Amino acid sequence: MPCVGRHARRVRIGRHRLRPAGLLLPLALVIQGLAGPEPLSGGLAPGIESKPTISELHLDELYERPIGPRGLAFSVRARALDGRPVRLRGFAVRQASPIPFCLILSPVPVTLHEREYGLAEDLPSNFVHVHFPRGPHPFLPWSRDPMTVDGCLELGAREEADGRISHVRLRANAPWSSRRPPSDTTASSVPRSEAAANPIPASNESARPDQLESQPALLRELP
Amino acid sequence: MKLLQRYLPLATLLAIGGTAIADPVIVRLTPPSKLFSLGVTNGPVIARFLPEQRFDLQSSIRPDPGMTIDSVEFQVDEATVSGVVTLKPGTGGVATNLTIGTLRAFETSAPGVHSFSVRAVQSDGKVATASGNFEVAPIAQRGRRARNVIFCIGDGMGIAHRTAARLMKFNASMGKANGLLAMDQMPFSGLVMTHSLNSIVTDSSPGAACYSTGNKANNNQHGVFPDDTTDNFDNPRVENVGEYLHRTQGKALGIVTTSDVFDATPAAFATHTQSRAAGSGICDQYLDESGRTGLSVLLGGGRKWFLPATTPGSGRTAATDYALADELASGWAIPVGQVDTNRDLIADFEAAGWRYAADRTSLAATPADTRRLLGLFSFSNMNVAKDKIDGRRGAKPAGATSSVVEDFGLPDQPMLDEMTDKALQVLSRNANGFVLMVEAASIDKQAHNMDTERWILDTIEFDAAIGRCLDFARTNSDTLVIVTADHECAGVNIIGGSRVAQSVLTQQLAQPSVRTTTYTNAVGGFLFTFPYSHFSIRTNVGTYEAAGFPKYVLGEDGYPVTTDIDGRMIVGYAANADRFEDYLTNPYPLRDSQQPFVTQEPQLRHPGGPSNRDFPTGNFLTGQIPDAVAAHTASDVPVSAQGRGASAFTGVMDNTDVFFRAMQAVVGGAQ
């Protein structure tokens, strides 16, 4: 479904500036630094630019509160923003078995142990599946910090690749790029051959920038 | 090893003799036996049943290339078993070459070890046979029968979980505990060995199924024996305790849990599947087969499985749903089920005469004459005791504007003891008695996360529920209450107490990082550098006499006013994943990115596992397993019992023994 209005192209992880000693932050900078141009406003003729009109939407605003005795009910505001550009803020759920090109955004920090519990989980009901366009790297680096994601809001039930039903999705634009991210002194000290010799199942654990470049098909879990 | 396993059945045929060596080959004979799989007759018989407890007979046969299996016949004690043997192909990998013969719902009443064999005839007339055995446990008729039996399962609760809960609730001084938990005061206790059919370390599916069926199962499977198909719901079944006692005595079944109701432990008491993850089908089976199980109370989380897929919040999917083959449905006289993602299961429960409660308030308002009760208090797992209690107290994490249960949108969730009370009220209306399973699920889930205070408070919550059961047993003397666990989780132990006051610990954690260390991950082999506090937090851990006697103070609600006390109890984990540890209570479940210091620079990434907490306070604890979270262990777990037949629960026993000792009291009686 095409997004009506602006489709922002920004993913912001955390609230910190780049620190050379860090492993995650260079990548966060990469994601921000490689963000695309500011989007066009919805309803404007092509080529006409204006200030962004993206709407901030709190995850707690997705459904009517308090939750009733049966299912959830989309809020009036969420329904009004269906198909429109929104900005969400939450925590990327830490998953043992994430979906490629997708993360789950939660209002509170959550770790999911799919192997242990399947879909018996401690995930609040107002989670959002954030889908990124397919690119060379299927898993967004995981961060403990809150994440701000811009994209197109999509409401309605859909079965995701991991068997969960998503009722709210965000179609985010690509955080990926073919540009090589700035190297990190620690990361660059790791022999590539060593990394290649230690295959680990994919997860949405953070990945070093050099891994993004050297292993385009599949990110590897880091220690 | 794989070759050995592959050819063991053939080797067994050679070893035990008495049968012709032939192609085709019998590759599986169910019920499982050491005689078939290992070719030995010594040691315990693997499959045991009650007199007239029903189970399926099944065998997988590999025919010669180009041949088919025309017939399969089962014999028990050298007599052909009557009934229809259905043939179907195996599915999944090499199993596609197999033919599977199944005879449903066999039963026998004669106690003792029975020989069991299969004879398969190939299209060219060749014959394959194989032998195994099973046992029907003797039930002595003596004394009065237990009318009600209550299984209280603290998921993952080992000895140390109990000790920690006792120390936090009652404290100890001058060498003696100042008080005892309800479960401590039960008169008979023993130890339970928890291995599953395919591992020394079980998961919750077979860990609970051994109590509900008396039989071993593979990990991730309950109420069934393993087979050679990919269908989650076609495995050979074993009649579970609810079904058996409802059929033979008219008893009702109740299931109460703090987890999602489809989770392994609750599901093991009323459903049959090789996949504990098949939530839609499991929850459908609760209702569809309630006529066989006698299910009358179902309380817990997991509302998502009961909502039509089109309703926001639903988790129903076709992949997790079920539909049975006619041979299975007719063999067990149960509905075939249907893949129906848009089923409104709550409405179907209500149409079948169930009362539905969505929160604590509506649960409390359940009329006294209610005979069937469904309570779904969250969309998946319920919030844990600490967060529910904090919500009731109006306590919020530092800097937060709402409590955790408010964040989840479900601020009015009942405690486990409140759910247990209501379950007892409803079940006790059944004139023929009942079976009740009460599970404290998040003792395990929070131990996996190595979230110490959360699993301790869940153990305290569990003990309150046990107290309700014991109160009931005191006024209903023909009630047997059994308290145990399905397995131990995380290798928990109490390693000491904090040497420093809370204020000192907090000051230490606030110190800036001053040096770095290099970390090598055991799995990935990667190196990276991170700074850590100049003050090593682990030097605060007081061992031996330095541990002293931590002094927690209880609130009026029976839970500690705070778990962050001076000289706090310190817990360690043997089956630990990598983590950082600051020994402070985590304000949020699982992880808290809003803890103090978390946002201080430098922000660094850290190793996998629950090390997402408490970083960069500097106390990095290297895990001993490659998993992201702590794991179950093979340690024995305690069992305690009170009431009719309780004296049988002493000594060291297999987990399946718990089922048979309980059934001795219910079926045969006890002095």
3-state secondary structure B617-649: CCCEECCCCCCCCCCEECCCEEEEEEECCHHHC
Q: Got the DSSP string for A131-181?
A: E----S--SPPP-SSEEEEEEEEEEEEEE-TTSPEEEEEEEEPP---SSPP
Tell me which residue of B658, B640, B664 sits closest to B210, measured CA to CA: B658
Tell me which residue of B376, B420, B392 sits closest to A69, measured CA to CA: B376
Residue A2 pLDDT grade (very low, low, confident, very high; cuts 50, 70, 90): low
Structure tokens given for B477: 């003397």
Q: Which residue of A has its CA nearest to B623?
A: A223
Selecting from B275, B277, B603 the residue whose C-beta is nearest the C-beta of A14 gives B603
Best of B219, B449, B605 to disrupt the A interface by mutation (most A CBs within 10 Å)? B605
Query: Which residues in chain B have Cβ-Cβ distances shorter than 8 Å to A72?
Result: 311-313
Q: Going by C-beta distance under 8 Å and a sequence separation of 6 or more, which residues neighbour residue B477?
A: B643, B644
Domain ranges (residues) in chain A: 11-214
Give the three-state DSSP class for A108. Answer: coil
* B599 vs B146 pLDDT, higher one: B146
CA distance A222 to chain B (A): 7
Q: How far apart are CA B184 and CA B178, in angstroms?
A: 12
Tell me which residue of A220, A13, A200 sits closest to A137, measured CA to CA: A220
Largest CA distance in chain B: 83
Residue B614 pLDDT grade (very low, low, confident, very high; cuts 50, 70, 90): low
CATH of the domain at B213: 3.40.720.10
Q: Going by C-beta distance under 8 Å and a sequence separation of 6 or more, which residues neighbour residue A159?
A: A165, A166, B309, B317, B318, B319
Q: Which residue of A has its CA nearest to B612?
A: A144
Helix, strand, coil share of chain B (percent; to 5): 30, 25, 45
CA distances from A154 to B12, B71, B356, B360 (A): 59, 55, 32, 33
Q: Which residue of A has its CA nearest to B267?
A: A120
CB contact under 8 A, B521 and A144: no
Structure tokens given for B521: 């991950």
Same domain, B86 and B73: yes
Structure tokens given for B151: 């299984």
CA distance A4 to chain B (A): 23
Residue B354 confidence (pLDDT):
98
Highest-confidence segment of A190-204, B518-532, B653-667: B653-667
Same domain, B271 and B325: yes
Q: pLDDT > 70: what percent of chain B? A: 88
Residue B544 structural domain: 493-621
Query: Which residues in chain B have Cβ-Cβ distances shorter than 8 Å to A109?
Result: 588, 590-593, 612
CB contact under 8 A, A21 and B604: yes
Q: How far apart are CA B641 and CA B469, in angstroms?
A: 11
Alpha-carbon radius of gyration of chain B: 26
Query: Which residues in chain B have Cβ-Cβ distances shorter than 8 Å to A222?
Result: 521, 524, 526, 528, 605, 607-608
Query: Which residues in chain A have Cβ-Cβ distances shorter than 8 Å to B529?
Result: 21, 186
Structure tokens given for B610: 């629950």
Residue B18 confidence (pLDDT):
39
Same domain, B69 and B101: yes
Tell me the mean pLDDT in the region B290-313: 97
Q: Going by C-beta distance under 8 Å and a sequence separation of 6 or more, which residues neighbour residue A200?
A: A220, A221, B523, B524
Same domain, B466 and B518: no
CA distances from B450 to B385, B535, B579 (A): 15, 22, 9
Residue A1 confidence (pLDDT):
55
Query: Which residues in chain A have Cβ-Cβ distances shorter than 8 Å to B407?
Result: 60, 107-108, 124
**What backbone phi and psi angles, to 5 degrees, belong to B501?**
-75, 160
∠ Cα B270 A95 B579 (to 5°): 105
Query: What residues form DSSP beta bridges with B57?
Result: B103
Q: How many domains does chain B have?
A: 3
pLDDT tens string B55-82: 999 999 999 999 999 999 999 999 999 9
Give the three-state DSSP class for B391. Answer: helix
Query: Which residues in chain B have Cβ-Cβ distances shorter than 8 Å to A60?
Result: 407, 409
**Whether residue B524 has pLDDT greater than 60:** no
Best of A139, A144, A185, A215 to disrupt the B interface by mutation (most B CBs within 10 Å)? A144
Q: Which residue of A has its CA nearest to B344?
A: A70
Q: How far apart are CA B432 and CA B443, in angstroms?
A: 32
**What backbone phi and psi angles, to 5 degrees, belong to A76?**
-60, -40
Same domain, B187 and B271: yes
Report DSSP state, residue B96. Answer: G
Selecting from A19, A146, A164 the residue whose C-beta is nearest the C-beta of B603 gives A19
Query: Which residues in chain B have Cβ-Cβ distances shorter than 8 Å to A203?
Result: 608, 628
CA distance B104 to chain A (A): 29
Q: Comparing A31-45, B314-328, B364-378, which segment has the lowest mean pLDDT?
A: A31-45
Selecting from A96, A163, A220 the residue whose C-beta is nearest the C-beta of B319 gives A163
Contact B532, B616 (CB under 8 A): yes
Same domain, B173 and B316: yes
CB contact under 8 A, A119 and B605: no
Best of B405, B526, B586, B601 to disrupt the A interface by mutation (most A CBs within 10 Å)? B526
Contact B281, A136 (CB under 8 A): no
Q: Going by C-beta distance under 8 Å and a sequence separation of 6 or more, which residues neighbour residue B10?
A: B21, B25
Contact B511, A183 (CB under 8 A): no
Residue B509 pLDDT grade (very low, low, confident, very high; cuts 50, 70, 90): confident
In a domain, B441, yes or no: yes
Residue B579 confidence (pLDDT):
80
Averaged pLDDT score across all residues of chain B:
89
pLDDT tens string A35-80: 333 332 333 334 444 445 899 999 999 999 889 999 999 999 999 9
Q: How far apart are CA B368 and CA B370, in angstroms?
A: 6
CA distances from B192 to B158, B414, B487, B489 (A): 10, 30, 9, 14
Q: Which residue of B has its CA nearest to A191?
A: B526
B455: left (phi over 0), alpha (psi -120 to 50) or beta: alpha
Same domain, B24 and B121: yes
Tell me which residue of B263, B193, B196, B251 sits closest to B484, measured CA to CA: B193
CA distance A61 to chain B (A): 11
Residue A5 pLDDT grade (very low, low, confident, very high; cuts 50, 70, 90): low
Same domain, B476 and B526: no
Sheet holding B112-122, edge to edge: B48-49, B127-136, B112-122, B69-76, B79-80
In a domain, B604, yes or no: yes
Residue A53 confidence (pLDDT):
84
Best of A67, A169, A183, A220 to disrupt the B interface by mutation (most B CBs within 10 Å)? A67
Residue B519 pLDDT grade (very low, low, confident, very high; cuts 50, 70, 90): very low
Query: Which residues in chain A have Cβ-Cβ distances shorter than 8 Å to B203?
Result: 116
Q: Which residue of A has its CA nearest to B527?
A: A190
Tell me the mean pLDDT in the region A188-212: 28
**Whether residue B460 has pLDDT greater than 90:** yes
Q: SS in 3 state form for B231-295?
A: CCCCCCEECCHHHHHHHHHCCEEEEEEEEECCCHHHHCCCCCECCCCCHHHHHHHHHHCHHHHCE
Residue B511 confidence (pLDDT):
66
CA distance A118 to chain B (A): 5
End-to-end CA distance of chain A: 39
Q: Comparing A103-107, B27-31, B375-379, which segment has the lowest mean pLDDT?
A: A103-107
Where do the H-state alpha helices sit in B326-372? 326-332, 345-351, 360-364
In a domain, B361, yes or no: yes
Q: How far apart are CA A53 and CA A84, in angstroms?
A: 10
Q: Which residue of A has its CA nearest to B311?
A: A71
CA distance B24 to chain A (A): 37
Best of B404, B439, B514, B603 to disrupt the A interface by mutation (most A CBs within 10 Å)? B603
CB contact under 8 A, B408 and A118: no
Same domain, B90 and B172: no
Q: How far apart are CA A91 and CA A93, in angstroms?
A: 6
Tell me the mean pLDDT in the region A7-33: 36
Q: Comparing A48-52, B240-244, B332-336, which segment has the lowest mean pLDDT?
A: A48-52
In a domain, B369, yes or no: yes
Same domain, B320 and B174: yes
**Whether residue B170 has pLDDT greater than 70:** yes
Residue B538 confidence (pLDDT):
80
In the numeric block, the tokens 């153990």 are attached to B459
Selecting from A21, A164, A221 the residue whose C-beta is nearest the C-beta of B315 gives A164
In a domain, B627, yes or no: no
Tell me the mean pLDDT in the region B136-144: 96
Q: How far apart are CA B180 and CA B165, in angstroms?
A: 10
Given the candidates 1.10.3720.10, 2.40.50.140, 1.20.120.420, 3.30.565.60, the CATH classification of the domain at A11-214 is 2.40.50.140
Query: Which residues in chain A have Cβ-Cβ distances shorter than 8 Å to B316?
Result: 165
Same domain, B503 and B454: no
Tell me which residue of B287, B286, B267, B269 sits closest to B277, measured CA to CA: B267
**Whether residue B191 has pLDDT greater than 70:** yes
Structure tokens given for B36: 């078939």
Q: Which residue of A has its CA nearest to B362?
A: A69
CB contact under 8 A, B526 and A23: no
Structure tokens given for A178: 């073919």
Best of A15, A18, A108 to disrupt the B interface by mutation (most B CBs within 10 Å)? A108
CB contact under 8 A, B608 and A205: yes
**Whether residue A196 has pLDDT greater than 50:** no
CATH of the domain at B46: 2.60.40.650
Query: Which residues in chain B have Cβ-Cβ distances shorter than 8 Å to A193?
Result: none
Q: pLDDT > 90: what percent of chain B? A: 79
A27: left (phi over 0), alpha (psi -120 to 50) or beta: alpha
Q: How far apart are CA B485 and CA B639, in angstroms?
A: 7
**Whether residue A12 has pLDDT greater than 80:** no
Give the three-state DSSP class for B513. Answer: strand
Give the three-state DSSP class for B119. Answer: strand
Contact A154, A98 (CB under 8 A): no
Query: Which residues in chain A have Cβ-Cβ distances shorter than 8 Å to B263?
Result: 117, 120
Same domain, B361 and B459: yes
Structure tokens given for B646: 């309780």
CA distance A181 to chain B (A): 17
* pTM of the model as a whole: 0.85
* B525 vs B143 pLDDT, higher one: B143
Selecting from B264, B409, B519 the residue whose C-beta is nearest the C-beta of A124 gives B409
**Whether residue B32 has pLDDT greater than 50:** yes
Q: Comparing A36-40, A67-71, B171-175, B351-355, which segment has the lowest mean pLDDT?
A: A36-40
Residue A202 confidence (pLDDT):
33
Structure tokens given for A194: 């060593």
Selecting from B449, B526, B602 the residue whose C-beta is nearest the C-beta of A222 gives B526
CA distances from B580 to A167, A174, B451, B572 (A): 35, 33, 11, 12
Structure tokens given for B660: 């048979």
In a domain, B628, yes or no: no
Q: How far apart are CA B184 and CA B163, in angstroms?
A: 10
In a domain, B458, yes or no: yes
CA distances from B665 to B112, B141, B661 (A): 19, 9, 7
Query: Which residues in chain B have Cβ-Cβ distances shorter than 8 Å to A201?
Result: none
Residue B536 pLDDT grade (very low, low, confident, very high; cuts 50, 70, 90): low
pLDDT tens string B632-666: 999 999 999 999 999 999 999 999 999 999 999 99
